Amino acid sequence: MTTNGGAARGMIAVDKIGTQVLFLNPETFETEVVLDGFPKTVHELLIVPETGLAYVPIYGDGIHGRNPNPGHLLSIFDLNKRTHVGDIDLRPYIAPHTLKLGPDGLIYVTCENSAVVAVIDRATHKVVDAIDSGSTNGHRLIIAPDGKRLYTENEEDGAVSVIDLPARKLLGKIKAPEALAGITIADDNRTIVVVSDESPSIFLIDAEKGEVTRTIPLEGAPKPAQIARYNDDYSVLAVSAVGGDSLTLFFGGFENQTTLMLGSQPMDMVYRGDDLFVACQGDGSVHIVDLPSRKVRKVFQAGKGCESLGFF
């Protein structure tokens, strides 16, 4: 999730550990509304500001690679009323994980155990198609800024699936040296950044060449990382390490990096102006990183352990 530096009406947090969805005051960060009663477990987050809705997958009661009771729902939230207003049943597709809004206005979500990317029409809230991802390990996805390609990071496969988005067709896979945990793409529509699940490093893939062109160690990160996210103008790249309690920031490319130690198990994050909010699911903390100074300026508590955050 990213946002600009303007005023926000609200803040939403997905409490994976507490199996809740929280609405927070966007200035004081106090929890104002708690929604619960969800199946295990709420996971990631997509906010669509123009419709006033947010979407949260119900992944299942396990973790990637060990999810014995996979979920099949995508929960819908009214951001104005701050309520859970319904669910989209994705069956026969199961274990929904990362979701993104495509340039065509459709929602694309990885369904790990089904080896597809499900396609959802927001007008009807129905599944209208499913794209072969080529892997039951399809974990996270990213859509290129120009909307021509969708890429899935296939964790244990150590590969990235390449999908022609307008044609909804799997074109092939790009092999990485190690198992993967996260993915993003630069604004050149060509440089794919994937996060190693085996070493504290990231790999740069040239999408046109279809190969890894560079390995970059995460300096000061004690363990492998997981989530990679650019800010709106692509001047900052943040990489969080759930196992190492660290956050690595890249400024203006890949030559200038800083690693900070945060709370327990930092996961997803949201940019807001010069601040980066990082959710730590291991201890329920949210760390606000001041990007110009590269320091944590504030820590607050939200739920038992949030994975995803967003402003609206």
Long-range contacts of residues 297-303, Cβ cutoff 8 Å, at least 24 apart: 299/263, 300/29, 302/13, 302/15, 302/22, 302/24, 302/29, 302/31, 303/13, 303/15, 303/17, 303/18, 303/20, 303/22, 303/31, 303/34
pLDDT at 132 over 70: yes
Tens-digit pLDDT profile for residues 15-24: 999 999 999 9
| pLDDT tens by residue, 25-79 | 999 999 999 999 999 999 999 999 999 999 999 998 766 666 677 899 999 999 9
How confident is the model at residue 186, as a pLDDT? Answer: 98
pLDDT, position 60: 87
CB contact at 8 A, 285 and 263:
yes
Residue 5: what pLDDT?
A: 54
Neighbouring-strand partners of residue 2: 271
Residues constituting the chain:
312
Per residue in 137-146, pLDDT tens? Answer: 899 999 999 9
> pLDDT tens digit string along 155-198?
989 999 999 999 999 999 999 999 999 999 999 999 999 999 99
pLDDT recorded at residue 70: 85
- Per-residue pLDDT of 191-214, as tens digits, reads 999 999 999 999 999 999 999 999
| Residue 2: pLDDT over 80 | no
Contact (CB, 8 A) for 169 and 175: no
Tens-digit pLDDT profile for residues 72-123: 999 999 999 999 999 999 999 999 999 999 999 999 999 999 999 999 999 9
Tokens 């291991």 belong to 282
Is residue 105 helix, strand or coil?
coil
Contact 41, 55 (CB under 8 A): no
Q: What does the pLDDT read at residue 64?
A: 60
- The neighbouring-strand residues paired with 84 are 77
